[in-house]
Structures are given as C-alpha cells and as structure tokens.
Chains A and B, each alone.
Chain A
Amino acid sequence: MAIAVEISNLSKHYKNVTALSDLSLKINEGEIFGLIGPNGAGKSTTLKILTTLLKPTSGNANIFGVDVAQDPESVRKSISYLPEEAGSYKQLTGREYLEFMAGLLSLQENETTENIVNRGVELASLGSRIDDRTKEYSKGMRRKLLIARALMSNPRLAVLDEPASGLDVKHAFYVRRIIKDCVKNLGTTVLLSSHNMLEVEYLCDRVGLLDEGRLLDLGTPAELTAKYSAENLEEVFIKATGTTSEHLGEGI
C-alpha cells in the first residue's frame, strides 16, 4: 500500500515550550487516520506542520513523497485543510464561498471549477440556503459548508482538525458520514484529530495517541483496546498515559 504521509522524528519548539517531540508515523493512502489526545497534546501543531502553516524545528514530514518544509507549494496542491475553528466569509453566500475557494485550486485533468462547486453544493446539503449569506448560517450549517469545501476537490489528503467539534448529534452524524463516504467512494486519505474517542473509534482505521507532544501508541482501535484490555479508546488513552483515579480527581 502506498504511503500518503510519512513523519520522521518531527519536533516543534516555541522558545521554551515543546509542542511536539520526536514524532514518527506513517499514514497509508486511502485510510482514515485519527490523532487523539487532550488539549495541548500537539495534535493541531502536527496538522499545521503537515499543511505547511508551520515549519518544524527538526525532523521532516513528507506528503506523497514531497517534503512539507522544502516544497510547501507542491504539498498544497494535494491537500485540503479544515482548521478546528474555521470560519466562512460572512458577506458571501455559501455558493459564492465554494466558488471562491474552488477558484484557488489547482485543477486536475478533466476537472472544472463548476464541477467542483456542484460537488461542494451537493456535499454541503444545505438546499436553498446555499444561496444565503453565511452570516445567516447556524454553527452546524457553517461546519457542513466547510467540510464540503474541504472535500469537494477530491483532495489526495484531507486534514481535518476536530471535524465535528461542538456540533449537535444530527450535524455531527452528517459530517462523519460524508467523511466516510469520501474515503469509500473517492479514495481520499483522511488525517483527523479529535477529542471525541467514540467519533475516532467509529471513523478511523488507525489511531495515534498523542500526549504532551509525544506519540504514546499507534494501532487500529481493535488492536489498542485489546493491548490495553480496555473497553474503548477512552480507557485506552487513560491507561496509555498512566493516569490514575487520583490524577483524574486533581482537576476536579
């Protein structure tokens, strides 16, 4: 199986703070890979390095064989990124937003901007509201639009930071379903981060546990639950970090 993402000894330091330490992992083409961990674990930093927004302090990361630090412009042609707190341009309609973003893409052969926008409109599933200005959208509607934007171009790699964070059950279910459908039907590779262990268990083929900038463990949800004799990934994470009930009580 081809490798979509290859990370070797990746570190990121901000002055005296270590955001990421010696991270190494591989993501296969066509799989959904989840990075899980608490706030400050280094998930967003990893995603930002892979999407060329940040430069690594040391180590390297390749996407489809291209180094993110050496040739960021080529990397951007094969990725699509959905930040955790992404917004849409409030004065544009949903359709105008998709048209604008589609106009910035590098088109593949036999692909037109119109086709991409039509696919985006379909994925967003907002009905006639797609022609309303996005300032009138609810949080759930906006997130649907943004996930449609991230997936409409059939990117080789979609990097999704907390894709369903803060959404109600209905919208979260929809977002997870279209991520699954894209991988199944179009072969997109997905790298996502999440706090929600159940979401990760449902969506991801493999999972990386990240804590304080370090990768604790890696495997399929089934492998990890078996390895830690846990009922679910939440328990896996607690056991992997060595968190005791006393530790949990400290924060209360």
Chain B
Amino acid sequence: MPRPIFKIIKKEVLEMVRDPRLLLGMIIVPLLMFPMMGLTMSASISSIEDTATSIDLGVVNMDDGSRSGELVSFLIARGVNDHYYSYSDISLMVNGTEYPVDMFILIEPDFTESIESNGNATVVLITPLKTYSISESISSDIVTGYIIEYQQSILDERIATAFPGQDVSSIITPITVGSLSVVKGEIVNNTPSEITNQMMLQSLMIPMVLMILLIMAAQLAATSVAMEKEEKTLETLLTTPVPRSTILFGKIAGVVVISAVAVVAYVVGFSFYMSSIMGAESAGIDLTSMGLVPSTTGLVILLATLFLSMVSALSLSVLVASFTEDVRSAQAILGVIYVPILIPAIVLMLVAISQLPGIAQTAMLAIPFTYPVLASKSMYTGDFSLVLFGMIYQIIFTVIIIYVASWFFSSEKIMTARLSLKGSKGIFSKKL
C-alpha cells in the first residue's frame, strides 16, 4: 500500500490538475501566452521594417533649383516612393481630403539658393495621423533620418570646399573615443553597456520566470490550505491517524510537483518569447566567445537555490494561509510574501548587491528569495561564495519555517487561530 504521504501528494495533484482555473494559469497560459506575445512582437517588428521600405511621400516642391531634385532623388534611392502634389493639396489634406501618401514633404522656394550660398534651407514634413500608431511616427523619423544623411553630404561638401586637401572626417570629429571592456582577463571590442545589456537579457530571463513561478506556487500552496478550511475538509483530515507533519509535507510536495511542471511550461514558453523578439537584434555580441556562458555547476547551483526558495516560499505561504478561514483571505494576506519575492528581482536587475548601502545589503541578504537572483548572475562570473552561503541560510530558514508550520499544524491553533484583517481586535482572534 502506498504510504499516506503519497496518497496526499496524489490527491493534491489531482485536485490542482482538475481545477480548470489552475491549469489555465500555471500551464496553458505560459505555454500559449509567451509564444503568442513573441509572435506578436516579431510581427510588429516586421511590420515596422516593412514600413521603412515602402514609404509613400507626397512631394510639394516650391523650389526651382537643382538641390530639391537632388534631395528627392536621394530619398528615392533609399526606397521612398515619390508622388507629386501642389501646395494647395496640403490645405485640402488638412481639411480632410485623403491622399494615398504617408506624409508630405514641403520644400521651400529658396531651398537651392540657400544651400548654394552656405545659408540655411528649410524643408517641412507634414504627417497626417490616422491610427496614432507608432508606425506612423516611425515613417516620419525614417524620412527625417534620410534628410539628415543628405544634410551630412552637403556639410562634407562645404568643409571640403573650405579646407581643400584635408580629411573631412578629422575636421568634423577632432576626438575619437574608444571604449573597450575587459572580460575574464581578455580585452573585448565592446562597450561595457553593450555587454551588460546583452547579459541582462539573458541572465534576467531566469530570475523573472522564477519570480513569477514563486508567486504562483505560493498562491497554490496557500489556496490548497485555505481550501481545506473553506470546504470544511481539514477537520476530517486532522482526525485521521496520519501525523500532522505528513499532511503538511504532503501538501508542500504536491505543490512542488505541479510547480515543477509549471517551471517547464514557463521556461519553454518564455524561451520561445525571448527567441522571437531577440532573433533580429543580437547586436553582434557573442557572449559565448567571451566565456560569458553559464557553467554546468552554475546551473546546478541555480536549480538548487530555486528549489530551496520554492520550498521556503511554500512553507511560508502554508503557514500564513493556516491563519485564514477562506481562499479569499488567504490570497489577500499572501501579499506579505510577494514583497520579499519581488524586491530582490527588481533591485538586483538594476544594481549589483555590492553597490547597495550596508543596511540595504543586509536586508537583501536576509531575504531567502534573493539567492536565486544572485545565482543567475554568479553563473556568468563563476563566483559562487555568496550564493553557497545563501543556500546554507535558505536551508536554515526553511527548516525553521517548516518546524513552526509543523508545530502549528500539530497544535489546536490550526483550528482556533484566525487572522483578523479588521485590526480592531489585534492580529489574532479565537473562534469558538
């Protein structure tokens, strides 16, 4: 006969798997939502890229010189489609007449003359906003970029005329700033921000997924206990010959099993999302060649801290939920656990722990959920000393919480203690 703990785990898993809300939130949503978000993002990027290559420009040319023609030819060479209109079409467009163009370019009458006389010429871009989407402003930005490029060619011309025989680029840029980084004893030809940005995308993917998972697992564990109270099944369960600690461990283990499946669903879904949106923008930075890849030891340590975080978060939420009478109160009171889960992920996304002031550093290290985030960074640096210390701390923290939860489950307080959210009678009240 299977031991009672396996019966409890099986019951927990069955209940969770058969609850459509839970299945939807923990398994189906990450498996569908992240890939769909990724596809939508990559479709948007493609659509914006398409916009850049098919801009329809209404040209209103009031200049009679050669420079305006040269500018239009410059734009056509970069893929812009030209359509010619008169000045009056602009006022008609303003008053609502539709034209098959994305924007108008108004070239002022003295455009050529101003350029030839080293003066300041003017062109105006007029964009009718129809959908107020980013792609409408992008068309205008792209054409502005082309015009700046054309302007640069005029500037080069002027400098070449003023300083015959000299290098134009040296005159424009008297100082060149080079920025290199040293990675693991090797000089690499990238700025520090290029490398950290790229690393952040990769190393934060895991903690972000982890934080979502921890919150969902905590919710699941709290719901499991609160449900026993709400559905009036706890009293019966507590009068069976099974030790109370077995009931507690069975509940935690059941949630760990479901969360492990959710980990897979989240990692698969999130990887698909990241690969969808990052495919086009790898920026030519190869972290692998710099040795900035997670080691097997690093991954094992990350998984170990993740497991310890999960068990401590679950024990904590089981304990907190034991004080409540129903699922709604349990969910509400669970906010106290979300804060320490979210803070390390957000703060350490921006700064290294060593950059924090002393008190903040101590506070951060006192949170057991900090260590998976640190582990995700240590995977790249190879310095695990703080994380290993953290794992010992996590074990001590978890053992204490489990001990308190076991004691609580074994006492009559599991039946009588109630967390009062009204505040007038203090934190605990007794139910007769």
Contacts and interface: CB of A to CB of B under 8 A. Distances in A.
B241 A89 contact: no
Contact of B15 (A52, A86, A92, A103): A92
B191 interface: no
Interface stretch (A11-19, A21-29, A163-171, A183-191): A11-19
B422 interface: no
Contacts of B432: 14, 17, 19, 40, 45
Interface in A98-121: 100-101, 103-107, 112-113
Contacts of A54: 412, 415-416
A83 B229 CA distance: 12
Interface stretch (A74-82, A123-131, A216-224): A74-82
B236 A83 contact: yes
A75 B15 CA distance: 29
A53 interface: yes
B15 A104 contact: no
B15 A55 contact: no
Contacts, number: 87
B327 to A, nearest CB: 12
A85 B232 contact: yes
B426 to A, nearest CB: 12
Nearest to A52: B239
B116 to A, nearest CB: 83
A73 B19 CA distance: 33
A177 interface: no
A38 interface: no
Interface residues of A, number: 41
A51 interface: yes
A90 B235 contact: no
Contacts of A82: 236
Interface in A60-94: 73, 76-77, 79-83, 85-92
Interface string B2-25: 101001101100110011000000
A101 B415 contact: no
Contacts of B241: 73, 76-77, 104-106
Interface residues of B, number: 29
Contacts of A76: 239-241
A91 B7 contact: no
B243 interface: yes
Given A14-B430, A14-B432, A53-B415, A90 B239 contact: no
B1 interface: yes
Contact of B1 (A45, A88, A103, A133): A103
A201 interface: no
Contacts of A146: 236
B211 to A, nearest CB: 28
A51 B232 contact: no
A83 B235 contact: yes
B231 A87 contact: yes
Interface in A143-168: 146, 149
A87 B233 contact: yes
Given A55-B412, A76-B239, A105-B240, A91 B18 contact: yes
B226 to A, nearest CB: 13
A14 B415 CA distance: 13
A104 B242 contact: yes
B238 interface: yes
A88 B234 CA distance: 10
A69 to B, nearest CB: 10
A132 interface: no
A15 B243 contact: no
A53 B413 CA distance: 9
A241 to B, nearest CB: 20
A19 B430 CA distance: 12
A212 B220 CA distance: 41
A53 B235 contact: yes
Nearest to A50: B239
A21 to B, nearest CB: 14
B361 to A, nearest CB: 44
Nearest to B17: A91
A82 B239 CA distance: 9
10 contacts: A19-B432, A53-B238, A53-B415, A83-B236, A86-B235, A89-B231, A89-B233, A103-B2, A106-B241, A133-B18
Interface of A: 14-15, 17, 19, 40, 45, 48, 51-55, 73, 76-77, 79-83, 85-92, 96, 100-101, 103-107, 112-113, 133, 146, 149
3 nearest A-B residue pairs (beta carbon): A103-B7, A87-B231, A91-B18
Given A77-B241, A92-B14, 9 more contacts: A54-B416, A76-B241, A82-B236, A83-B235, A89-B11, A90-B231, A92-B15, A100-B10, A105-B240
